[in-house]
Each structure stands twice: as C-alpha cells, then as structure tokens.
C-alpha cells in the first residue's frame, strides 16, 4: 500500500469534528482528532517533497496576530498558508485602530471579511492570551450568525499563556516518525526539564503543552525543575489525568539527572516560575517599568543558582544507551555559542542539531493540516482529489 493511500485511509477511519472548530488547546481535541491532524500533516509534507501542489484556495487571507517575537512560528504560519493558496497578512496592532481603543469584537469582524484563518500568538500575559483567542472566536461567531461575515474564519493558537499546540503537535509528529508510530511511543520515557538560561520571562506554554500532550499516548513523562519553578497547577492535573487514562506515567522530579536516567527523549527548556509570571503580568498591565526591572533582576539571580541545570554530555550519558533523542523548540541557549552559559552544551547541541531542525520542519505542515481540517468537512476526499489531479507545485523540478 502506498504512503498516500495508507495515510488517507487513516484519516477516513478517524471520527473527527474539526470542521469549523478552532484549534486552541490540544486537550480540547479527541485522540482521533489529534491522530487526523498528524496524518494530514504527514500527507502534506510528502506532497511538498514530491513537488505536488496543495493549493486549495484561489483567493482569501490568512491573518496573523503576533503579540510577541517569533521566527519559526511566524514563518511556519506564513509558509503553511501560502502552500494552501492563501495570502498572508500580518496585523500590526501599533498601526491599527486597536491602538486607539478599538474593541476586540470590532477588530475581529473588520479583519475577517475575506479571511479564512486567523493565527494568534499571545503569550505575554498570564491568564490573558488564551482568553483573548476565545474572545476573538466569540466575536467571529456573532458576526457570522448575524450575516455580517460570509464565512467564519478559523482561529489557530500559535502560542498562548497555557499551550503551544502547533509546537507540541510538531514535536509529536517528529516522535511518531522517529520511532515509527504513535503506538511505539507507549512506555517511552521523555524528560521535560527546566534548563538554565541567562534570560527571564520565558513562557510556560511549551513545557505545559508537552506534558499535556505526550501523556495522551502512554508515554512515561517526567517533569523536572528546581524548587519554585512550577507550572500552572491545572496543567499538572491535566497531565496526571491523561497519564492515568492512557496507562502511561507522569511524575515530577527536582533533579535533571533523575529525569535523564534511562530516558529515551530529553527536552531541556527554560521557563519562568509560575509565580514570577503572575507578578510579571500585573507589572506589564500596570506599565510599571521600574517594577519589571526589579523583578527581572530578582529572577536572574534566582536562575543563576541553577547554572548546573545544563544538558551536557555527562547528563546525556545517563540516558538510554547514552543517546536519547534531544528535542528543543528553538532557539536554544547554547553554552559558549549564543551565551556564556545556557540550556545545552555546544557539544550536545551540535550532535543533535539536524534532529532539531527536522523537528522544527514539521511545524508548517502541522499548521497547514489544522487549516485544512478547519476549512473542509471532507479532508480525505480533498486530499484524494489533489493527488488524483496532481499539479506540480513548481514547474521544471
């Protein structure tokens, strides 16, 4: 059976209700919907490799709203939407009427007359990012129901304060293909650990997304961090409940060495303590520059006490066969390269660099998959037609 036929059959066999539904949190999706997202992404990635066009739209906008800096996610969204035939437009809030007090409801409708999909990254304010995305969604529902919009654009979470679904799903697809199948992940140990960084204020959404997703598939997930570097309590509860349902495991540790012991996969990544992020949010809202400077100083001093939380060769030697798969959402803080001391040694990162690039390379196709499943009620038929009437993506290749 061909690759395409096998993957499309998988999509056909899965019960999904993703058409017209926003993708905001992985734990809001069923296991079958997550599997469908991975399968469609795999198909689209293979089509791109085979120079087959996936152009499904002859017109229409894909609108991005980035409230934080981004490289990989920004260009993954742009390339994914372009691959499907949409034109990308980035909303610069500083140049819009938002700066003059325009409401979320009004903005959401004004940007949506010819828009098919809206990607939002809002991870700066704890307790606000995901809420903003939901508010946009409600405004779009209202506009469509009242006949003000010809179509209700879908909304995709490109990272919020709670979850980073395009990243965690790209990571899961990387693991699926690296180990051969989702079933092969059952019982695999993944160490999601805090790592030292010379900066502060990094979002909680990556580690929260990882522990919330990998526990869905029977993995043995270990979350490790120094005392005080807690995640959101509700995300810990989600991971624990998921592990119980999937017959996997979830545990917390306060040592990187303990987490790395016998691990199949390691994911050392810095994040700010939950309590620090709460304080930071209040200071940002109050536009308290002096308070932010004092908080940053306090947090960096706290980080400095844990510079030994670095993924180095000695710790990697504790992993299964001394060669666990190293993962990172990038950019990593590389000791002696991007900073004096950081999350990972130059030796370990260089040995795993191609794997991390491969990991990142799944994100455009995960985003394209989320768009396709949102906009089309019959994804398997859509894909079959694209393949049946295969057009070259680029002539002359």
Tens digit of each residue's pLDDT (9 = 90 or more) over 348-394: 999 999 999 999 999 999 999 999 999 999 999 999 999 999 999 99
Output the DSSP codes for 308-371: T--B-HHHHTTSGGG-PEE--SS---EETTTBSS-SEEHHHHHHHHHHHHHHHTTHHHHHHHHH
How many helices and strands, by DSSP H and E, does the chain display? 15, 11
pLDDT, tens digit (0-9, with 9 covering 90-100), for 226-256: 999 999 999 999 999 999 999 999 999 999 9
Ranges of CATH 3.40.50.1370 domains, the chain: 3-163+363-388, 167-360
Q: What are phi and psi of 116, to 5 degrees?
A: -95, -35
Nearest-angstrom CA–CA distance, 256 and 191: 8
Write the pLDDT tens digit of every residue in 23-82.
999 999 999 999 999 999 999 999 999 999 999 999 999 999 998 888 899 999 999 999
Query: Residue 61 and residue 77: Cα distance in Å, rounded?
Result: 12
For residue 164, how far is the Cα from the chain centroid? 4
pLDDT interval class at 1 (50, 70, 90): low
CATH number of 3-163+363-388: 3.40.50.1370
List, for residues 100-122, the tens digit of each pLDDT value.
568 999 999 999 999 999 999 99
Q: Rounded mean pLDDT of 175-189?
A: 98
Encode pLDDT of 332-355 as tens digits. 999 999 999 999 999 999 999 999
Confidence check: pLDDT of 99 > 70: no
Mean pLDDT score across all residues of the chain = 95
CATH architecture of 167-360: 3-Layer(aba) Sandwich (3.40)
CB of 239 closer than 8 Å to CB of 195: no
Q: What distance in Å separates the CA atoms of residue 126 and residue 78, rounded to the nearest whole number?
A: 26
pLDDT digits (tens, 9 = 90+) for 248-280: 999 999 999 999 999 999 999 999 999 988 898
**Do 115 and 81 contact (CB within 8 A), yes or no?**
no
> Distances from the Cα of 310 to the Cαs of 56, 201, 359, in angstroms?
45, 18, 21
């Amino acid at each position: 059976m061909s690759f395409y036929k096998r993957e499309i059959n998988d999509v056909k066999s899965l019960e999904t209700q993703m058409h017209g539904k926003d993708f905001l949190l992985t734990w809001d999706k069923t296991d079958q919907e997550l599997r469908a997202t991975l399968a469609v992404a795999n198909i689209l990635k293979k089509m791109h490799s085979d120079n087959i066009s996936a152009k499904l739209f002859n017109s229409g906008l894909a609108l991005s709203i980035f409230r934080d800096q981004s490289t990989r996610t920004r260009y993954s969204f742009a390339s994914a939407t372009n691959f499907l035939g949409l034109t990308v437009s980035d909303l610069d809030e500083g140049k819009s009427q938002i700066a003059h007090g325009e409401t979320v409801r009004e903005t959401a409708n004004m940007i949506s007359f010819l828009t098919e999909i809206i990607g939002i990254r809002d991870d700066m304010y704890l307790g606000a990012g995901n809420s903003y995305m939901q508010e946009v969604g409600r405004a779009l529902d209202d506009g469509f129901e009242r006949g003000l919009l010809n179509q209700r654009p879908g909304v995709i979470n490109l990272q919020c304060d709670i979850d980073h679904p395009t990243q965690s799903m790209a990571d899961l697809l990387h693991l699926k293909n690296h180990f051969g199948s989702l079933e092969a992940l059952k019982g695999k140990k993944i160490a999601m650990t805090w790592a030292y960084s010379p900066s502060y204020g990094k979002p909680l959404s990556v580690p929260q997304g990882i522990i919330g997703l990998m526990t869905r598939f029977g993995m043995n997930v270990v979350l490790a961090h120094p005392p005080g570097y807690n995640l959101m309590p509700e995300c810990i509860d989600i991971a624990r409940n998921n592990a119980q349902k999937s017959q996997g495991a979830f545990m917390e540790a306060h040592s990187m060495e303990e987490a790395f012991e016998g691990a199949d996969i390691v994911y050392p990544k810095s994040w700010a303590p939950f309590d620090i992020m709460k304080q930071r949010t209040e200071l940002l809202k109050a536009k308290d520059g002096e308070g932010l400077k004092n908080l940053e100083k306090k947090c960096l001093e706290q980080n400095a006490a844990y510079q030994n939380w670095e993924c180095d060769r000695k710790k990697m030697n504790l992993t299964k066969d001394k060669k666990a798969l190293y993962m990172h959402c990038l950019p990593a803080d590389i000791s002696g390269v991007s900073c004096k001391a950081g999350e990972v040694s130059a030796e370990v990162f260089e040995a795993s660099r191609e794997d991390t690039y491969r990991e990142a390379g799944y994100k455009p196709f995960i985003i394209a998959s989320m768009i396709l499943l949102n906009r089309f009620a019959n994804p398997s038929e859509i894909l079959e037609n694209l393949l049946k009437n295969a057009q070259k993506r680029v002539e002359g290749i």
